[in-house]
Amino acid sequence: MTGLVGVFDSGIGGLSILQALRAELPQSRFIYIADSGHAPYGERSDEHVMTRSRAIMAELVKRQAQALVIACNTATAVAIEQLRADYPDLPIIGVEPALKPSLALSQTGRIGVMATRSTLASAKFKTLLASLASQAEFVVQPCDGLADSIQRSTGSTDTSDIKLLCAKYTQAMGSFGIHRGQIDTLVLGCTHYPFAVEQLRELLGPQVQFVSNGPAVARHTRLKLSQKVLPAAAQSERCKATAQVVFLSTGEPQVLLAAAQRWLQQRLAEPLFLVDELNV
């Protein structure tokens, strides 16, 4: 049996998680929903994010998903507990800013965290931060508009908005580098931000390390699947990905199509590639 795994985000950001999932679970099939008709999540109310997350989950379950990955830090922070209560028999995996992995990487003990306003304000993030605060100094920065500008620049060569916002937010965080008192490690706490690494690298130089959670979430998903409903899918060894993906969008399918082609293309061996307008 090959498993069908549902994955969702407010837009294209979750593709950074899907990349890792496809590498880790090459025998699985995926349905990816970009809720771009109702994005961005990170600057909307918790009620909005909760309502949308429940609607998207219901759609994925209707389409026979046997496990779910919330490929969005904001939706995880706001809605994962409710979704697990709604679907107690389904494995539901979320994503949170990679604070723990960043501890092992930082030499200066000063770690930057970029995320959406909503993620940083959530009780879940505050608890995580408090549990690690004695081990390093975390400089947290809400990045209004950044996910949206990454979303909008898909398929275009004009990345000037992304550059401007990255410059504004990294300047606000202080000095970056590998010397004492500098931020040497930057947590990309929104799944859109790995798609701005080029711009961040240009601003911060080659020595700053970027941390995101894709590979860890993918490994955790495989573990969960092997314990629960999809053992055969989880057994697959890392190998050339042949995983199939169905892409759906509540907003502009062309944006999702362009992003999937750009970020996943090399690994799309035999994709079942279907872009659709969803009215959920």
- 120 contributes a contact to ligand DGL by CB under 6 A: no
- Comparing every residue's Cβ against ligand DGL, the nearest one is 42
Q: Which residue has tokens 């279907």?
A: 274
Whichever of 72 and 99 has its CB closer to ligand DGL, that residue is: 72
For this structure, is 190 an active site residue? yes
Is residue 10 a contact residue for ligand DGL (CB under 6 A)? yes
Query: Is residue 91 close enough to count as binding ligand DGL by CB under 6 A?
Result: no
Range 220-227, long-range pairs (CB < 8 A, 24+ positions): 220/93, 221/5, 221/21, 221/24, 221/25, 221/67, 221/69, 221/91, 221/93, 222/24, 222/25, 224/67, 224/91, 224/93, 225/3, 225/5, 225/25, 225/28, 225/67, 225/91, 227/91
Q: Is 73 in the site for ligand DGL (CB under 6 A)?
A: yes
Contact range with ligand DGL by CB under 6 A, out of 20-28, 36-44, 59-67, 164-172:
36-44
42 binds ligand DGL (CB under 6 A): yes
The nearest distance, CB 72 to ligand DGL, in angstroms, is 4
Q: How far is the CB of 266 from ligand DGL (least distance, A)?
A: 22
190 touches ligand DGL (CB under 6 A)? yes
Residue closer to ligand DGL by CB (options 22, 192) is: 192
- Check binding of 90 to ligand DGL (CB under 6 A): no
The answer to whether 13 contacts ligand DGL (rule: CB under 6 A) is yes
Distance CA 146, CA 120 (A): 15
Nearer to ligand DGL, 8 or 184 (CB): 8
Tokens 């779910």 belong to 68
CA gap 166, 65 in Å, rounded? 36
Nearer to ligand DGL, 199 or 244 (CB): 199
Q: Is residue 72 flagged as an active site residue?
A: yes
Q: CA neighbours within 13 Å on the CB side: how many for 2?
A: 12
* Site membership for ligand DGL, residue 94 (CB under 6 A): no
- Distances, alpha carbon 158 to alpha carbons 72, 235, 252, in Å: 25, 42, 19
Furthest-apart CA atoms within the chain: distance in Å: 53
Token pair, residue 227, equals 């314990």
Q: Which is nearer to ligand DGL, 11 or 253 (CB)?
A: 11
Tell me if 113 sits within 8 A of 210, measured CB to CB: no
> Which residues contribute to the site for ligand DGL (CB under 6 A)?
9-11, 13, 39-42, 72-74, 116, 119, 147, 190-192
Catalytic residues: 72, 190
